[in-house]
Structure 1
Amino acid sequence: MPNNQTKALAHGAMMIALFGVIMLIILYVPLLSLIATIFAPLPIAWYSANYNRTMSIFVALLACVITFIFGGLLVIPAALIFSAMGLVIGINIQLKKSKLFLLMTTGLTMLLAFAVLYVVSLQLFGIDFIKDSIEFTRTSYDSYLELTKTLTGQTPPVKMEDLELMFAMIESTIPAAVTLGAFGFAFLIISVNLPILKRLKVDVPKFSAFKDLRMPKSILWYYLIVLTINLFVRPEIGTTLYVIILNFSMILWVLLTIQGLSFIHYFLDKKFKLSNFVKVLVTIMAIPIYSFVILIGIFDLGFNIRSLVKDKIQK
C-alpha cells in the first residue's frame, strides 16, 4: 500500500508538472499554443484513468493552483477547462464507458465550463467577450469596406441592411455555434489523445465504424417540430422563439448531415468497397450539397434505406 501511494504521488507530481508546462506553452508560445491545446487534457486524463477519483480530483486542483502560481490569472480559465476535461476523460475510461458516452460527457463538460467562465467574466469583471468579439468583427468589416472604398474609389456592392441582418444572424446563432464548437473540439481532443493513452497502456474505448453510425430517431421528431414552427408560426427575427428555433435548426442540420454522410460511407463500402481516402474525398465533395445530404440523413433515419440498399446489393 505505501508503495502504491508513493507511486500515485510520484505520478501525480509528474502529471502536474507536465500539465503546467503545457499551460505555459499555451500562454507564452503562440506558435505552439494550438497544438498544445489539443494535448492539454492528456496528463490529467492519464492520471485519472489509472488512479482513484479522489486522488485524481486532488491532482487536477493542484495542477490548476501550480499553473496559477507560474502563469498568473490569465491561464486559470484554460487550466480549469482542460483539467476538468482530463478528469472526465480519465474517470470515464476507468469506468469502462463507451467512446460515444466519453464524447458526450467531455463536450458537456467543456460547454458547462465555458458557460461558467462566461458568467463569471460578465458578473465579476463586466467583460462580455462574446459581445466584444461580435463588435470587433463588425468594426473589422467596416474597416475593410472603408479600405476597399479608399483603394478602388468605389463603394463595395454591399447593402447595410444585409450587413445588419448578417450580424444579427451571427449573434442569434451563438448558442448553437458554441455548442457545436464544444463538441467538435471534444471530438478532436478525444480522437488525438485516446490513441496516445492506448500507447501508454490505458484500455481505451473505440468508436464503431462511421458507416454504422445511427442517430436517435427522435431527431426526426425534433426536426419536424422545428420545421412546423418555421412554416406555420414564422417567428419574427430577433424574438426569443426565433433564436431558439434558429439554434435548434443549426444543430439538427449538422446532426442530419452527419447521418447522411454516414449513409454515403455505408453505400460506398457495401457497393464499391472503396478505400478510406476516397470516402474522405467524397465527404468533402458532399459538403457543398449539404441540403441533399440532410435529405439522405432524413430518409436513412426515417425509412431505414440501408436495409433496402443491403438487400439490393446482395441480390
Structure 2
Amino acid sequence: MKNWSEAPVRSNVRAILEGAFMSAIFLVLFFVAFYTPLSVVAAFALPVPFSIYGYRHDTRMGVLTVLVAAILSFIFTSFPGLLISLPAAVMGLVMGIAYRKQKSARYVLVLGMVTQLAFIFVSIGIVLAITQTNPVNDMIEGMGKLSNQMLTEMQGQVDHSIKQLPPEQQNGIQGKQLARVKESLESMKVQLPVLISAILPGLLISSSLLAALINHGLFRKVLQRMGTQIQALPALHNLRFPRSILYYYLIVLFLFMIPELHTYRFLYTVVLNVMIVLQLLFAVQALGFVAYWIHKRNVSKGLLILAVILFLIPPFTYILLLIGVLDVGFNLRNRFFNNRS
C-alpha cells in the first residue's frame, strides 16, 4: 500500500516542479518579448514551454500551469501583457496535448491557429469587460499614429525636394509630379485608419497561422533533442494548394472592380481580408516552387532563406505572388522539371 500511494505523489511533485520550471522559462521569454528589441523572436517562441509540458503531463496540470503563468504576466505587465501571454500559452498547451494524443501535424497546426485566434478574442473580451476600453481600437490608433508619422516625414522629404529644384522647375513637370506625390501621401493619411481596421482580421489569421507553424517547428526540434519524434509537416517542396483557390482569387479581383467598393463597409472588409489570406497562400506556394527547384537541382538550402528575405522587398514580392499564381494555375513544377528528368 505504501508503494502504491507514493507513486502518484512522486508523479504529482514532478509535474509541479516541471510546471514551475516551464512557467519560469515562459516568463523569461515573455519579459524579453515585452521589454526588449527581440520582441518578435521571443513572442513566437512563447508557446514552446507549454507545448512541451502539455506533451509530457496531463491536461489538468497543464491548465493549472497556464493559469499561473498568465496571472504572473498580468501582475507584472497588466492587461497589455495578458493580450500577449494568454493566447500564446493556451495555444502551446493545446498543441502539446494534441501531439500527445498522436494527432496529425496538419490537424494540430489548424487547431493551434484556431486556438490562438479564439484566445486573442477571449483576452480582448476580458480587457473590455474589466477596463471598459477596447484594446483593438487602441491598437488601430497606435498603428495609425505610426503610419501617419511616417507619411508626414515622407511629405517633408517631398517638400524639401521641391524646394531644392530651380525656381523654373518648381512649376514645371518635375515640380508638378512631386506635388502629386505629396497629395497622394495626404490622401493615404486619411485612408490608412480605415484600411488598418479593415485588414486587422486577415492580419490576425495570418499571424496565428505563422505562430502555429513556428511553434510546431521549434517544438519538434526540442523533442528531437529529447529523443522523441512527432509527425512532421509535408516538406515545403511537396506543398501544393488546390487549383480552386485561383478561382476564389479571380472572384475577389472581380469584386475589387466594383465602383466605390469601400463605401460598402462589410463587403469591403470581407474582400480585403480574403485577398490577404489568398496572397499569403500564393506566397507559400511560390516558396514551395523555389524549394522544389532547390531540391531538384540539389542546391544549398540557404538559397531558400535568401529567397524569403529577397521577396520581402516590395518589387520582388509581386514576382513571388505571380510565381505562386502560375504554379497553382499551370503547375510550373511539372512543366519545368518533370520533362527534363
Fold match (TM-score > 0.5)? yes
Aligned to 1:266: 292
Cα separation, partners in 2 of 1:158 and 1:292, compared to 1, 3 Å: same
Tell me the CA shift for residue 176 of structure 1: 1.6
Q: Report whether the alignment pairs 1:57 with 2:63.
A: yes
User: 181-190 vs 87-96, which deviates more?
Assistant: 181-190
8 A contact 1:100–1:207 mirrored in 2 = yes
Q: 2:274 aligns with which of 248, 271, 281?
A: 248
- SS of equivalent to 2:133: coil
Gaps in structure 1 of 5+ consecutive residues: none
Aligned to 1:85: 91
User: 250-259 vs 38-47, which deviates more?
Assistant: 38-47
User: 39-48 vs 291-300, which deviates more?
Assistant: 291-300
User: 4-13 vs 286-295, which deviates more?
Assistant: 286-295
Tell me which amino acid in the other structure corresponds to 1:214: R
Structure ID, larger Rg? 2
- SS of equivalent to 2:339: helix
Tell me which amino acid in the other structure corresponds to 1:263: F
Q: Deviations over 1:7-49 (max 9, x none)?
A: 223322322333344434444x425554443332222211100
Tell me the CA shift for residue 80 of structure 1: 1.1
Q: How many residues in Structure 1 have an aligned counterpart in Structure 2?
A: 311
Identity rate, percent:
24
Kindly report which structure 2 residues correspond to 1:43-192, keeping only aligned pairs within 5 A, or say none: 43-69=49-75, 72-122=78-128, 124-127=131-134, 128-141=137-150, 144=153, 154=163, 157-159=181-183, 160-192=186-218
8 A contact 1:173–1:243 mirrored in 2 = yes
Q: 2:20 aligns with which of 13, 21, 31?
A: 13
Q: Deviations over 1:75-117 (max 9, x none)?
A: 3333312211221221122122333333322222222222333
- Alpha-carbon separation, structure 1, partners of 2:324 and 2:147: 35
Q: Report whether the alignment pairs 1:281 with 2:306.
A: yes
- Alpha-carbon separation, structure 1, partners of 2:320 and 2:42: 34
What is the CA RMSD across the aligned residues, in angstroms? 3.2
TM-score (norm 2): 0.76
